[in-house]
Amino acid sequence: MIKSKAFVDTAILTNRLIKFREEKKEAKDALAKYEITELPVYAIKEFKAGPLDYVKYLYNKLLETESIGLTIIALTNNFRQKNKQATSLKLIGELLEEVKTSRTNSNLKAKYGRLADEESISYDSVKLETKLLVYKAWKKRRTVTTTVVQPLSCYHEKAPCEEKNGQLSLKPNKCETDNCCLTEKLKDKRFDVTKLKVAIDKLESALKTKPENVKRQKILREINSKSNVKISNSDCRNLGDAVFALFCPVDADILTTNIKDHKPLANALGKTVVSPQQILGNTTKLTKI
């Protein structure tokens, strides 16, 4: 049974803030179905260091190349999986076509010169939109859920800023300590940590050997075996989905798009994982049960 409270993971936060159309709408609608939605600061930290960093990277790359075409070449250079490019290039093509047909004309070109040129309009449009997306996502991060919970004392939520050369910076995007504030909390949960370790061991080979599970298993083992264990920033990041399983309140569902990775961990601790599709299949608003 679906609960009335959701513990929101990074994928949902990402979809709500920087994804488009269906993914964004699905995340928004799923969140609206819950009476209480909680976002741990850990998700904000992961979001800033991961998905938001991609948007920042794109903006900086656009700034560096000063051209959409050159940015595409830079991004796809040494690409092996050519088939994956097709969808992306089709979408970019749609924008370029729209600019050509409805965002400029010969009169504007005569009056404004380069400013009305298709290439200049497309480039400036994409560049401005990307920058706006970074700032907008950051501004809205604490508004997508009803509450933000579990602050991390070693992590400072600093807003994006512009460097002297115009490039965007998301620093700091990691903890400013060599011993994460989660260390003590994780030591208190050694029994649960063991359960997670066992759950990863039991995973089918393909999942178990995924780089993220290998790294996660290593740090879980260290927490269990070393009394003086210190969790660094990279250890903290490598824990990833395990943090959500460990710190999700028992009366909440972990709301995520990534059921496959979350479920074995959450189930090992008797917690539930729900996807937006499952929630949206349920037509009534979820109230306290």
Partner 1 sequence: MLIRDNETANYSEVKGSTHLFKSVDSEIETGSNVKQTSESNYRIGKITARIPFVFEHDFKSWNIEDDLSDNRDTLKSEAKDIPTGEKLTSKNNPVKTIRNLYFQDEFITPELRTGINLLEISQNYITKSLESIQHRKRKESDEFIMQFKAFLPELFCCRTISESFGAVINAIQNALSNMKGCPLSEKQIVALHEIITGLLREPAMSFEKAVDYVSKFEDADFEVESVGVEGLLKLTEIMDEDETELIND
Which of residues 103, 189, 215, 221 is near partner 1 by CB under 8 A?
A: 103
User: If binding is defined by CB under 8 A, does position 122 make contact with partner 1?
Assistant: yes
Please state the closest distance from residue 288 (CB atom) to partner 1, in A.
27
Instruction: For 43-64, give the DSSP string.
Output: HHHHHHHTHHHHHHHHHHHHHH
Q: One symbol per residue from 44 to 83: x for binding partner 1 (CB under 8 A), - otherwise; what is it?
A: ----------xx-xx--x------x--xx--xx--xxx--
C-alpha torsion sign, points 19, 148, 192, 263:
negative
Q: Give the Cα separation of 275 and 241 in Å (integer).
A: 15
User: If binding is defined by CB under 8 A, does position 156 make contact with partner 1?
Assistant: no
Go through the chain and tell me how many residues it has: 289
The residue count for binding partner 1 (CB under 8 A) is: 55
Which CB sits closer to partner 1, 214 or 250? 214
User: If binding is defined by CB under 8 A, does position 124 make contact with partner 1?
Assistant: yes
What lies within 8 Å, CB to CB, of 144 at 6+ separation is: 8, 13, 16, 17, 31, 37, 39
Q: One symbol per residue from 76 to 95: x for binding partner 1 (CB under 8 A), - otherwise; what is it?
A: x--xxx--xx-xxxxxxxxx
User: If binding is defined by CB under 8 A, does position 260 make contact with partner 1?
Assistant: no
Residue pair 272/253 in contact by the 8 Å Cβ criterion: yes
User: If binding is defined by CB under 8 A, does position 32 make contact with partner 1?
Assistant: no
Q: Give the Cα separation of 289 and 276 in Å (integer).
A: 20
User: If binding is defined by CB under 8 A, does position 96 make contact with partner 1?
Assistant: yes
Please give the order of strands across the beta sheet that includes 5-8.
147-149, 36-40, 5-8, 252-255, 272-274
Please state the closest distance from residue 84 (CB atom) to partner 1, in A.
5
Chain centroid, CA 187 distance in Å: 27
User: If binding is defined by CB under 8 A, does position 164 make contact with partner 1?
Assistant: no
Which CB sits closer to partner 1, 70 or 181? 70
Q: Which stretch binds partner 1 (CB under 8 A): 31-39, 113-121, 221-229, 254-262?
A: 113-121
